[in-house]
Amino acid sequence: MYQIKKFDKNNIPSSLEEEIISQFLYKHLEQYGDKIEDIQAAMAYALGKNDKPGGFILTIADNSNLLGVVVILDTQMSGYIPEHILVYIATHAASRGKGIGRKLLDKVIKECPGDIALHVDKDNPARNLYERVGFTTPYLEMRRKKS
């Protein structure tokens, strides 16, 4: 049986839990991940730290084994910008293909009262799962980074 925990500004994880979650994401996002500092910054935003709008973090575990994590940020917008951004979702490498990601996404959809956006590399195999739960690609995103 899986246990899903929700962390947000009203239920902040302990420092140890935050470290475990950020390290899990860093490891299991693999080539689709970011620097640990960026992951920790997104988590702080989701938890409403430093006057950020918040969001939430979901973890899914089997007994004491962490199997998956998702980080959602609230945008405080609607219409032209979705109300929520799914920033990170990762499942333990040994648990992929067992429905863990689907369980997390189903819970995210229930928890988010508005639209949800996510960014996914075109070659990421998780893209198929996102499409199965209703995500579409109405736009092409372009970015210009300052040097």
- In this structure, is residue 143 part of a structural domain? no
Full-model pTM: 0.90
Q: What average pLDDT does the structure give for the chain? A: 92
Q: What is the mean pLDDT of residues 131-144?
A: 79
- In this structure, is residue 146 part of a structural domain? no
The number of domains in the chain is 1
- In this structure, is residue 111 part of a structural domain? yes
- In this structure, is residue 137 part of a structural domain? no
Q: What is the mean pLDDT of residues 114-126?
A: 86
Give 67-83 pLDDT, tens digit per residue.
999 999 999 998 888 99
Three-class DSSP labels, the chain: CEEEEEEECCECCCHHHHHHHHHHHHHHCHHHCCCHHHHHHHHHHHCCHHHCCCEEEEEEEECCEEEEEEEEEECCCCCCCCCEEEEEEEECHHHCCCCHHHHHHHHHHHHCCCCEEECCCCCCCCHHHHHHCCCCCCCCCCCCCCC
- In this structure, is residue 138 part of a structural domain? no
- Residue 77 belongs to domain spanning: 2-132
Q: What is the pLDDT of residue 15?
A: 97
- In this structure, is residue 141 part of a structural domain? no
User: What CATH number did the domain enclosing 17 receive?
Assistant: 3.40.630.30
- In this structure, is residue 103 part of a structural domain? yes
Pair of tokens at residue 99: 């429905």
Q: What is the pLDDT of residue 1?
A: 85
Give 3-49 pLDDT, tens digit per residue.
999 999 999 999 999 999 999 999 999 988 899 999 999 999 999 99
